[in-house]
Amino acid sequence: MKHRWVVGIAVLACLVVAGGAAARTQLGSSTKATKVTLQLKWVTQAQFAGYYAAKAKGYYSQAGLDVNLKVGGPTITPEQVVLGKQAEFGIDWTPSLLSFRDTGKKIISIAQVFWKSGMTELTWKDSGITTIAKMRGKKVGVWCCGNENELYAALVKNGMDPKDKNDVTIVNQPFNMDLFLSREVDAAAAMTYNELAQVLEAKNPKTGKLYQLSDLNVISMEDGKKGAGTAMLEDEIFVRDDWIKDKKNQAIAKKFLAASFRGWIYCRDHSKDCVNIVLRNGPTLQRGHHTWQMNEINALIWPNKLGIGIMDAKAFDRTARIARQFGVIKKAPSGAYRTDLAKAAVAQLKAQGIDVLGKKWKKAKVKVTEGGK
């Protein structure tokens, strides 16, 4: 009797397990992941590591999303891609979004990932160009297509018209530092996480050694003392106004933001692994360069006083004020962003015990390698 009772229990247990597996299989087959596309601002690099990590670590799939990360490039404008319904989400700098809205294009920011600007202008130490004001009469490099707004605002602030060659000669800068390294321009645009590293990864022909920060003047757009102070918000997540009005799409957006933020949090705490993830997705840039970039990108996100992705109203107002004051937009923006979705995503992560502020994060010391190897 005892033997048959044990066998009966075992059979019953097997039936329960089998039934549960069948139920899960049936559930999995009937529940399809929602497909969405994120248009990146640029090519695959650590600037977007959080999104690649969210996909690689399964955060998107756990949220029921099948996310396509669409790479950008010099001929791709994320706003146009989103407005053309080729992507639900896009990443770009806030001034660019404002300029589109200023012409009647209906897009809206739903999350602000970077809380400060990473843009600088570089000059050589021996040039004596230590401030924006000293760029008068000089050749100044900057990228086009919405990337020039912070510099233009700084030049106007210092009494120069970027379109008047009697004041300053603007050079349409390629997305490398060749013109600067060959001294064909007096100043060059450089993001802390990318082009600055490109210069430091190059050899000084006079010494045969890598260039050092001591060879450069680094004029941050955040630095009012050097005549800038025109820093604008960068790397926000935006969508179409009409798309986000749908309650179903709002739910999708909350899931997308929570998973994306979780990816960025993972990169904050596991930067080396995130470099590996980026390299697996786009090996164009080398490990040393990505390591520098990951560290600098984290510095634009952490520590975060409000919670990752939540727009700081004061920072937005400063960006909008500068954009209007220096001609990027003609009228004050209204309804250009919303915070409810990011706040909901942050609250969800906090409820799971995930650190959304990163108060203890500190910038690491990264060794520069020749060519970013």
- Name the CA dihedral angle for 72, 368, 177, 92, rounded to a multiple of 10 degrees: 30
Look at residue 74 in the predicted model and tell me its pLDDT. Answer: 83
**At 82, which amino acid appears?**
V
**Percent share of the chain, pLDDT over 90:** 84
pLDDT band (50, 70, 90) for residue 63:
very high
Taking only the tens place, the pLDDT of each residue in 187-220 is 999 999 999 999 999 999 999 999 999 999 999 9
Q: Which of 3-17, 64-78, 299-313 is predicted with the least confidence, judged by mean pLDDT?
A: 3-17
Three-state DSSP class for residue 114: coil
Cα(296)–Cα(358) distance, integer angstroms: 15
pLDDT digits (tens, 9 = 90+) for 299-317: 999 999 999 999 999 999 9
Among candidate residues 138, 244, 126, 133, the one with its CA nearest the CA of residue 186 = 138
Q: Rounded to whole angstroms, what are the CA distances from 254 to 19, 48, 82, 116?
A: 33, 19, 18, 23
Cα–Cα distance for residue pair 285/298, rounded to 1 Å: 18
For residues 42, 44, 45 and 46, what is the CA-based torsion angle, rounded to 10 degrees? 100
Contacts 24+ apart (CB under 8 A), 156-162: 156/326, 156/327, 157/132, 157/227, 157/228, 157/229, 157/230, 157/326, 158/131, 158/132, 158/133, 158/227, 159/133, 160/135, 160/136
- CB of 182 closer than 8 Å to CB of 139: no
What is the pLDDT at residue 22? 41
Indicate if the pLDDT at residue 7 is higher than 70.
no
Please compute the mean of the pLDDT values over residues 38-60 and round it to a whole number.
Answer: 97
Residue 172, amino acid:
N
User: CA-based angle 61:63:296, to the nearest 5?
Assistant: 80
pLDDT confidence of residue 5: 38
Cα angle 45, 51, 54; round to 5: 130
- At position 14, the amino acid (one-letter code) is C
Q: How far apart are CA 189 and CA 71, in angstroms?
A: 22
Residue 110 near residue 135 (C-beta atoms within 8 A): no
pLDDT in tens, 104-114: 999 999 999 99
CA distance 44 to 289: 13
Residue 356, Cβ density class (10 Å: 0-12 exposed, 13-18 middle, ≥19 buried): buried
Find the DSSP H helices in the chain: 2-30, 49-56, 59-62, 78-83, 94-102, 149-157, 178-181, 195-200, 241-244, 247-269, 271-281, 287-301, 313-325, 340-351
Token readout for 138 is 């000089």
- Tell me the backbone φ, ψ of residue 32, rounded to 5 degrees: -95, 140
Alpha-carbon span 82 to 328, nearest angstrom: 21
Q: Contact at 8 Å (CB) between 312 and 117?
A: no
Nearest to 256 by CA among 57, 59, 40, 5: 59
User: How do residues 265-301 score in pLDDT, each as one tens digit?
Assistant: 999 999 999 999 999 998 788 999 999 999 999 999 9
